[in-house]
Structure 1
Amino acid sequence: MKLIPLLLITLWFCPVSMARDLPDDTRMEWWREARFGMFIHWGLYSIPAGTWQEKTTHGEWIRQTAQIPIEVYDQFINEFNPLKFDADEWVRMAKAAGMKYIVLTSKHHDGFCLFNSNYTDFDIMNTPFKRDILKELADACRDQGIKLCWYHSIMDWHHPDYLPRRSWEDRLANGAELDRYITYMKNQLKELVTNYGDIGVLWFDGEWEDTWNHEHGQDLYDYVRSLQPSIIINNRVDVGRSGMQGLTKRGSYAGDFGTPEQEIPPTGIKGVDWETCMTMNDHWGYNKNDNNWKSSADLIRKLADIASKGGNFLLNVGPTEEGLFPQPSIDRLHAIGKWMRINGDAIYGTSASPFKELSWGRCTQKSVKGDTRLYLHVFSWPADGQLVVPGIYNKPSYAFLLAAPTKKLAVYRKEDSLIINLPEAAPDLINSVVVLDVAGRPDVNDPPIIFADHDIFIDTLNVSITSERDNIDIRFTLDESTPTMTSQSVTGSINLTETTVVSARAFRNNKPVSGSIQYKFTQAEPLLGVEARERHQGLRYEYFEGSWDQLPDFDEITPVKEGVISDFNFSPRNQSEYFGFQYSGFISLPETAVYTFFTDSDDGSQLFIGEKLVVDNDGLHGMTEEIGVIALSAGFHPIRVTFFEKTGGDQLKVNYQGPKINKQAISPQVLFHIK
Structure 2
Amino acid sequence: MRTSLPRPRPRPRPRHRTVRRTRLLAPMLAAALLAVVLPTGSAAARPAHRAASGSEGQADADVQTGTEHARQRPAAGPGTNFAPDDPFTADRTNWWRQDRFGMFIHFGAYSNLEGEYRRPDGTVCRDAEWIKRQCAIPMDAYEKQARTFDPAAFDAKAIVKAAKDAGQRYIVITAKHHEGYAMWPTKVNTWNLRDHSAFDKRRDIMRELKNAADRAGIKLGFYYSIWDWHDPDFADPATFPKYRERMYAQLKELVKGYDPALLWFDGEWDTDNPHNPWTARDGESLESYLRDLDPKLIINNRVGKRRVTDGDYGTPEQEIPAAPVDGQLWESCMTLNGHWGFAKYDQDWKSSATIIRNLLATASRSGNYLLNVGPDRHGRVPQPSLDRLSDVGRWLRTAGQGRAVYGAGYAGLVEEPSWGAVSRSRGGAGDKLYASVTEWPTAGKPLHLTARAPFRVTDARVLGSRQGVKVAPSGDGYDITPAGGPTNPTATVIELTVKTPRPAPRGHGSGLRADIFANDTLSGPPALTRVDRTVNYSWKSSGSPAPSIPADHFSTRWTGSLQPRFTDAYTFTTVSDDTARLWIDGRLVIDNTKPHDAAIDKASIALRAGHKYATRLEHTEQTGEATMKLLWSSPNQPQEIIPTTQLYRH
Give TM-score scaled by structure 2 length: 0.64
Distance 1:157 1:353, change over 3 A: same
Counterpart-to-counterpart distance in 1, 2:17 and 2:375: 46
Residue in 2 that maps onto 1:357? 416
Local SS of the residue matching 2:97: helix
| Residue 440 (structure 1) shift | 2.2
Aligned to 1:539: none
**C-alpha distance in 1, partners of 2:332/2:569?**
38
**Percent of aligned positions with the same letter in both sequences?**
37
Alpha-carbon distance change, 661 to 473 in structure 1, aligned in 2, over 3 angstroms: closer
Aligned to 1:605: none
1:612 aligned residue: none
- 2:282 is matched with which residue? 216
Which residue identity lines up with residue 23 of structure 1 in the other structure?
D
User: How many angstroms does 1:20 deviate by?
Assistant: 1.4
**Aligned in 2, Cα 1:408/1:7: closer, same or farther, shift over 3 Å?**
closer
Per the alignment, residue 117 of structure 2 pairs with: 52
Q: Distance in 2 between matches of 1:160 and 1:659?
A: 43
**Residue 461 of structure 2: SS of its match in structure 1?**
strand
Deviation (angstroms), 1:473:
9.8
How far the C-alpha of 1:254 sits from its partner, in A, is 3.2
Report if aligned partners of 2:106, 2:341 keep a CA contact under 8 Å in 1: yes
The CA distance in 2 between the partners of 1:141 and 1:368, in whole Å, is: 26
Amino acid at match of 1:85: F
**TM-score normalised per structure 1:** 0.62
> 1:366·1:374 contact (CA, 8 Å) conserved in 2?
yes
Pairing of 1:140-151 with structure 2 (within 5 A): 140-151=212-223
Whichever residue aligns with residue 20 of structure 2, its letter is I
After superposition, residues 368-447 of structure 1 pair within 5 angstroms as 368=427, 372-385=431-444, 386-391=446-451, 393-404=454-465, 409-440=469-500
Tell me how large the CA RMSD over aligned residues is. 3.3
Could you tell me how far 1:339 is from its partner in structure 2?
Answer: 0.8
2:21 to 10, 15, 18: 10
Shift of 1:492: 4.2
Distance 1:30 1:6, change over 3 A: closer
The answer to whether the 8 Å contact 2:454/2:500 transfers is no
Q: Structure 1 residue 68 and structure 2 residue 137: aligned?
A: yes
Report the 3-state secondary structure (helix = DSSP H, G, I; strand = E; otherwise coil) of the residue aligned with 1:277.
strand
Q: 1: CA distance between counterparts of 2:319 and 2:182?
A: 28
Q: Is the 8 A contact 2:156 2:208 kept in 1?
A: yes
What is the aligned partner in structure 1 of residue 248 from structure 2?
A: 186
Mapped partners of 2:17, 2:109: distance in 1: 48
* Count of residue correspondences: 450
Cα pair distance change 1:659/1:33, threshold 3 Å: closer
Q: Contact between 2:416 and 2:422, CA under 8 Å: does it hold in 1?
A: no
**Contact between 1:109 and 1:157, CA under 8 Å: does it hold in 2?**
yes
Go from structure 1 to structure 2 and tell me whether the alpha carbon gap of 1:402 and 1:12 turns closer, same or farther (over 3 Å shift): farther
Using the alignment, how far apart are the partners of 2:375 and 2:454 within structure 1? 49
Q: Which residue of structure 1 aligns with residue 550 of structure 2? A: none
CA contact (8 A) 1:390 1:416 kept: yes
Partner of 1:334: 390
Alignment-derived partner of residue 291 in structure 2: 225
Distance in 1 of aligned mates of 2:133 and 2:215:
38
Q: Amino acid of the residue matched to residue 139 of structure 1? A: N
What is the CA-CA distance between 1:412 and the residue it aligns to?
2.7
Work out whether residues 362 and 378 of structure 1, in 8 Å CA contact, stay in contact via their aligned partners in 2.
yes
The structure with more strand, counted as a fraction of residues: 1
Displacement of 1:423: 3.2
Deviations 1:622-669 (A, max 9, x none): xxx999xxxxxxxxxxxxxxxxxxxxxxxxxxxxxx99665859xxxx
SS at match of 2:230: coil
| Structure with bigger gyration radius | 1
**Counterparts of 2:180 and 2:285, CA distance in 1:** 21
Deviation at residue 403 of structure 1 after TM alignment: 2.0
Partner of 1:201: 262
Q: CA deviation at 1:442?
A: 11
Question: Residue deviations 1:30-79, cap 9 Å, x none?
Answer: 00011000000001111211112334531101111011111110112221
Change in Cα spacing, 1:260 to 1:340, as seen in structure 2 (3 Å) is: same
Q: Distance in 1 between matches of 2:331 and 2:353?
A: 20
Structural mapping, 1:25-40, within 5 Å: 25-40=90-105
Partner Cα separation in structure 1 for residue 113 and residue 620 of structure 2: 56
Cα offset, 1:369, TM superposition: 6.0
| Pairwise CA distance, 1:120 | 1.1
Summarize deviations over 1:71-97 as a string: whole Å, max 9, x none: 110112221111211110000001100
Q: Does the C-alpha gap of structure 1 residues 468 and 264 become closer, same or farther in structure 2, counting only changes over 3 Å?
A: farther
Deviations 1:87-130, CA, capped at 9 Å, x for gaps: 10000001100000000001111011111111111111122212
Identify the range of structure 1 (317-326 vs 423-432) with the bigger mean alpha-carbon deviation.
423-432
User: Alpha-carbon deviation of 1:378?
Assistant: 0.6
Q: Which residue of 1 aligns with 2:163?
A: 94
Q: 1:21 Cα shift? A: 4.5
- What's the secondary structure of 1:33's corresponding residue? helix
Cα 1:371–1:468 shift into 2, 3 Å: farther
Residues 70 and 211 of structure 1: CA distance in aligned 2, closer, same or farther (over 3 Å): same
Q: 1:270 to 1:433 in 2, by over 3 A?
A: farther
Q: Distance in 1 between matches of 2:134 and 2:569?
A: 60
Rounded Cα–Cα distance in structure 1 between residues aligned with 2:219 and 2:339: 24
Gaps of 5+ in 1: 165-172, 242-247, 444-465, 475-489, 497-518, 522-592, 601-624, 628-657, 666-675
- Residues in 1 aligned to 2:588 and 2:92: alpha-carbon distance in whole angstroms: 42
Is 1:303–2:359 an aligned residue pair?
yes
Is 1:345 the equivalent of 2:403? Answer: yes
Q: What is the one-letter code of the residue matched to 2:257?
A: N
State the match for 2:198 in structure 1. 128
Deviation at 1:346, TM superposition (A): 0.8
Q: Which amino acid aligns with 2:219?
A: K
- 8 A contact 1:42–1:319 mirrored in 2: yes
2:175 aligns to what?
106
Separation (CA, whole Å) in 1 of partners of 2:17 and 2:281: 32
> Alignment partner of 1:410: what SS?
strand
Change (3 A) 1:469 1:324: same
> Residues 233 and 239 of structure 2 are in contact (CA less than 8 Å); yes or no, is this contact kept in structure 1?
yes
- Contact 1:394 1:442 (C-alpha < 8 Å) held by counterparts: no
2:234 matched residue in structure 1: 162
Unaligned runs of 5+ in 2: 1-15, 26-80, 271-275, 504-561, 571-582, 602-617, 626-650
Question: How big is the shift at 1:135?
Answer: 0.6
- The answer (yes or no) to whether the contact 1:379–1:432 under 8 Å persists in 2 is yes
Q: CA deviation at 1:146?
A: 0.8
User: Residue 283 of structure 1 is aligned with which of 339, 345, 352?
Assistant: 339
Cα separation, partners in 2 of 1:296 and 1:220, compared to 1, 3 Å:
same
Task: Report deviation, 1:281.
Answer: 1.0
Q: How far apart are the structure 1 equivalents of 2:619 and 2:476?
A: 45
Compared CA separation, residues 662 and 441, structure 1 to 2 (3 A): farther
Does the residue aligned with 2:426 lie in a helix, a strand or coil?
strand
Deviation at 1:143, TM superposition (A): 1.2
Task: Describe the SS at the equivalent of 2:459.
Answer: strand
Map 1:570-589 onto structure 2 (within 5 A): none
Q: 1:262 aligns with which of 305, 318, 323?
A: 318
User: Per the alignment, in what secondary structure is the counterpart of residue 52 of structure 1?
Assistant: strand
Cα displacement string for residues 249-293 of structure 1 (whole angstroms, at most 9, x for unaligned residues): 5xxx43011111111112113552010111111111111111222
Matched-pair contact (CA < 8 Å) for 1:19–1:254: no
For 2:431, what is the secondary structure of its paired residue?
strand
